Amino acid sequence: MSEKLTEAQVRHVAQLSRLELSTAEVQQFGAQLSRVLEYVSKLNELDLTGVEPLAHALDLQNVLREDEAVPGLTPEAALANAPAQDPPFFKVPKVLGEEGSA
């Protein structure tokens, strides 16, 4: 694809992206997007026979610690700094129900 994107195509992409572009921005981004598409079309010309697909250029591995069970907070410790409590629960203002009812 060596042809430039039309103004309508750039505005369509901008609309999909929820962007409002000025006329100057449409020209600027149209040229940039055309160059990106031209580069992608060059990549499509490569012979990739025998090349394995990959997700990353480097051979990376996650370095994660083992998942170990540890003791959690006791109900008393969890409620220790609560502004209002009704053990073993936190007491919070009512947010559902009829207006003005407690």
Question: What is the C-alpha separation between 75 and 82, in angstroms, rounded?
Answer: 11
Task: Indicate the pTM of the whole model.
Answer: 0.47
* CA distances, 21 to each of 9, 16, 35, 54, 88 (Å): 13, 12, 19, 36, 56
Question: Which CATH code for domain 7-43?
Answer: 1.10.20
pLDDT of residue 101: 56
Helix (H) or strand (E) holding 23: helix 23-43
State the pLDDT confidence band at 61, using cuts at 50, 70 and 90.
confident
- For the stretch 31-52, pLDDT in tens is 999 999 999 999 889 998 998 8
Question: What is the C-alpha separation between 7 and 21, in angstroms, rounded?
Answer: 11
